[in-house]
Amino acid sequence: MNAIDPARWSTERGANSVFIELSSKLAEMVPPGSAIVDDVWNVLPWMRSTRNSSRRNAYFDAIKHPELRTLCKLWVLHGRLTNAANSLAAVEFRIAAMAALAHVLGARPLLALKTDDFLAAERWLRDSYASAYRRAGYLQQASQWLSTSFNMRLAYRNRLRNPIVYGRYGTDAERAKKLIPTDILRDLLNARHREGLIAKDKFFLSVLMVSVGTGFRVGELALLPCNCLIKMKGGLHLLHYPEKAGKPVPRPIHPLLADVIEDAVGEILRATSSAREIAKRMRNDPPLDWSGIIRDNAALSYFTARWAHGWTVDPAHQMINPTGAWYTKGKRFIDAIGTLEAVGGNQSEASRRLGISRLTFSDLLATQRAARNGKLPPVRNSKSRGKARESWNTDQRVISIEKFQRYCGVHVKLDRRMRIQSILDEARRLQLQGHSFPAPVADPTIEQRFRRPLAPLLRNQDGTAILHRDEALLIIQKYALSEERRTIEADFSSLTEKSIARWLSGEARSHGTGNHEDSVFARLGITDPRTGKVAKFTIHDVRHWLNTIYQNGGLTEDQIALIFNRKYKAQNASYDQTSSKIRSERLKQAVRDKVIVGQVTDSYSRLAEFSRDDAEDYLGAVLRMVNPMPHGICTLGWATTPCPHHLSCFSCRDERPCEHLIVDPADKATKAELERMQRESDLVIAAIHSQGVQSSPTADHFKRIRHNVGVTLDEIRKINGED
């Protein structure tokens, strides 16, 4: 039962009427199994994709200020109500922002918050976190939310700089560092055809091939359905479930990659078929919830007895077997007596036929003879050979608490262990006598109560299943990709970024670092042409590489944003690692083709009429730099030459925009920015005229901007045929 009434709590702290009205719905948004007063919420029910998780906890106790802690819960619930906080990361960043404020606020009440506190919290974040910029972004959101919902006079803006130094607005050095050399990807993907590849490399190389062909995020790869391949209109497409508000449309595959993508998906289907079969059986016959069983005394006794019966009736666990002796190394029973009779009683020949030593055969023979007399095998070591064995703790077949814990996958604490020890002791006694432990009377009620239905891999907002685990392409059975073939049947998972990272960088050690010598690059001998050392990159870097390929291939910003499932095309900028040299060459060609607007294009055209060489020399001189801006491209070298117009490209007095400005008529965002500048200039001029002032420095400034922007827009419309 919730002990906090959100509406009343908000009213007491000055919330506005709109938020108070919404507050009545907030209690309904708390995740099932939690209450507003709880400081730990399992927010997994909020998430569309469960992946491999059974819980995803949000820890509000990180906020030491009680009022801020409750406020943060309401903020999260409001975000849930408005679809702004549907992931654990979004909740955790909100908690981090409030925790920073709590550190600054101390013992003061919530209503004492002021903008200076947010600035102090920003400084604390800066000193405490390497990723402070993003956390401060949520601090800014908190400021805006409090101002809107609680009528607080707050005006905080994030002053920290984005640490990203690559992408369109970064440096050439950082862009080159971020961009994967194509040689590395080529060598890695060509390795798919090598002989003798281990199972893990075969599988992940196929996954990488799909990633290179599509640019999917890891989460999108993990949610690919097993029937993802579709052929339509002569091309290959992949069905997928997009993340981050992407468009749910089939992803087209480039014709040159269609065959290899189809082969890669086929390889993955073969490697994951057994895991899908297991997942299907588990969906139809849900596994037991051992974490719940351990907490229930009656259930623990019942299921322990049931397991003990199953263990002791297993033929491989027989301790007294007249038909054969247990061969520990081979993990099987051997009919030593029958083999000896078949070779006429010659023990040397019998041991050779079985492929074991003479001494081992002698021990097995003694074991089987003892079993035929209803006795356990005698001691085999040289000091006590022939005597009765007293301890069976190390025998693989004998029941024990350790084997029970491995089976149920949970640790049984001492108090619970004592409750079931009598069952295990009795089962052990019977097993050592050659008998099995009796099965408990079947209890359908308790069986059904502790079944744990397998959660879908992906679901709608209302909880309806969209994709079950047995329908996914990338479901991996644990150990299936390693040399270890033994596995618990229910032990499988979907693809994770961690599993790919381990393959790329080496198996993680106990303290969390990678073993670079065990990376796929080291194993396959793939080096970085830039350094000559063993190559390395992350799976997310593939998105940067493919984005840059598409950028250089001439796709528009809208097309690239659609392909990569981005909500805003401005996000392309961080992924565009095109060098300044390539940008400059593309820009030069655009000038030659007269497809961009600006004085550079006009000057080049006039020079080219008299001397192509002089025109090219001019072009090389003025287009050494490419500085993207919202309203065009600046060709001025900012590092060495100050802007002659004080960063106002359209305030020039010669009735033309700045000579260093170039505008792409095909860029819709640039055109929209120019139209915005023109509208705002009109508004400023109209406001000045309304005061009875016809001429002033400010009015003249905005008139020049309006005129020069109009000149540029006229040229754009003329080129685009809009006149």
Give residue limits of the domains in the chain. Answer: 6-149, 182-283+457-524, 289-318+399-451, 320-391, 580-719
Confidence of residue 638 (pLDDT cuts 50, 70, 90): low
What are phi and psi for residue 329, nearest 5 degrees? -65, -40
Task: Give CA torsion, residues 684, 689, 695, 701, to 10 deg.
Answer: 10
pLDDT at 511: 40
Report the distance separating Cα 550 and Cα 718, nearest Å.
Answer: 28
pLDDT at 21 over 80: yes
DSSP string, 604-667: HHHHHTT-HHHHHHHHHHHTS--EEETTEEE-S-TTTS--TTTT-TT--SSSS--TTEEE-TT-
Report the distance separating Cα 578 and Cα 552, nearest Å.
Answer: 7
pLDDT at 509 over 70: no
Tokens standing for 661? Answer: 């400005």
Tell me what the pLDDT averaged over the chain comes to. 85
pLDDT at 281: 86
pLDDT at 322 over 50: yes
Which range among 66-75, 268-277, 665-674 has the greatest average pLDDT?
Answer: 66-75
Q: What global pTM score does this model have? A: 0.72
Question: Do 77 and 70 touch, CB atoms closer than 8 A?
Answer: no
Tokens standing for 98? Answer: 């409030």
Residue closest to 63 by CA, chosen among 37, 97, 88: 97
Work out the angle between the directed axes of helices 599-608 and 612-622 (0-180°, nearest 10).
160
Task: Give the model confidence (pLDDT) of 457-504 as tens digits.
Answer: 888 877 788 899 899 999 887 654 443 333 334 456 778 888 888 899
Report the pLDDT averaged over residues 237-252. Answer: 86
Report the pLDDT averaged over residues 266-290. Answer: 88
Question: Do 430 and 398 touch, CB atoms closer than 8 A?
Answer: no
Tokens standing for 666? Answer: 């095909």
Report the pLDDT averaged over residues 377-396. Answer: 64
pLDDT at 510: 37
Tokens standing for 279? Answer: 């997942």
Higher pLDDT, 453 or 574: 574
Report the distance separating Cα 22 and Cα 685, nearest Å.
Answer: 42
One-letter amino acid of 537: F
Task: Give CA torsion, residues 183, 187, 189, 193, to 10 deg.
Answer: 150
Question: Do 674 and 709 touch, CB atoms closer than 8 A?
Answer: yes
Task: Give CA torsion, residues 442, 445, 446, 448, to 10 deg.
Answer: 110
Question: Do 618 and 659 touch, CB atoms closer than 8 A?
Answer: no
Question: Do 62 and 73 touch, CB atoms closer than 8 A?
Answer: no
pLDDT at 182: 93
Tokens standing for 466? Answer: 């969209």
Tokens standing for 599? Answer: 């004085």
The third-level CATH classification (topology) of the domain covering 182-283+457-524 is hpI Integrase; Chain A (1.10.443)
pLDDT at 489: 40
Report the distance separating Cα 286 and Cα 248, nearest Å.
Answer: 31
Task: Report strand pairing: 492-494 vs 475-477.
Answer: antiparallel
Confidence of residue 112 (pLDDT cuts 50, 70, 90): very high
Three state DSSP letters for 529-550 = CCCCCECCCCCCHHHHHHHHHH
Residue closest to 530 by CA, chosen among 97, 231, 180, 273: 180
User: H/E element holding 59?
Assistant: strand 57-59
User: H/E element holding 168?
Assistant: none
Task: Give CA torsion, residues 348, 351, 356, 360, to 10 deg.
Answer: -80
Report the distance separating Cα 459 and Cα 467, nearest Å.
Answer: 7
Report the pLDDT averaged over residues 580-605. Answer: 80
Distance of CA 676 to the CA centre of its chain: 38
Question: Do 487 and 478 touch, CB atoms closer than 8 A?
Answer: yes
Report the distance separating Cα 205 and Cα 521, nearest Å.
Answer: 11
DSSP string, 170-227: S-HHHHHHHSPPHHHHHHHHHGGG-TT--HHHHHHHHHHHHHHHH---HHHHHT-BTT
Higher pLDDT, 119 or 655: 119
Report the distance separating Cα 385 and Cα 390, nearest Å.
Answer: 13
Work out the angle between the directed axes of helices 414-432 and 297-313 (0-180°, nearest 10).
30
What are phi and psi for residue 561, nearest 5 degrees? -60, -40
Report the distance separating Cα 191 and Cα 199, nearest Å.
Answer: 13
Task: Give the model confidence (pLDDT) of 135-157 as tens digits.
Answer: 999 999 999 999 999 999 999 99
Residue closest to 279 by CA, chosen among 508, 478, 538, 552: 478
> How many CA atoms lie less than 13 Å away from 75 in the CB half-sphere?
27
Could you tell me if residue 231 is left (phi over 0), alpha (psi between -120 and 50 degrees) or otherwise beta? beta
pLDDT at 383: 52
Q: 211-215, 321-325, 440-444, 662-666: which has the minimum mean pLDDT?
A: 662-666
Report the distance separating Cα 128 and Cα 80, nearest Å.
Answer: 28
* DSSP strands (E only) in 376-468: 458-459, 465-467
pLDDT at 156: 94
Task: Give CA torsion, residues 479, 408, 397, 425, to 10 deg.
Answer: 160
Task: Give the model confidence (pLDDT) of 189-212 as tens digits.
Answer: 999 989 889 988 999 999 999 999
Tokens standing for 280? Answer: 């299907």
User: H/E element holding 451?
Assistant: none
pLDDT at 380: 61
Question: Do 42 and 54 touch, CB atoms closer than 8 A?
Answer: no
DSSP string, 279-322: HHHHHHSPPB-HHHHHT-HHHHHHHHHHHHHHHHH-GGG-SS-T
User: H/E element holding 229?
Assistant: strand 229-232
pLDDT at 377 over 70: yes
DSSP 232: E
Could you tell me if residue 406 is left (phi over 0), alpha (psi between -120 and 50 degrees) or otherwise beta? alpha
Distance of CA 579 to the CA centre of its chain: 28
Task: Report strand pairing: 229-232 vs 57-59.
Answer: unpaired
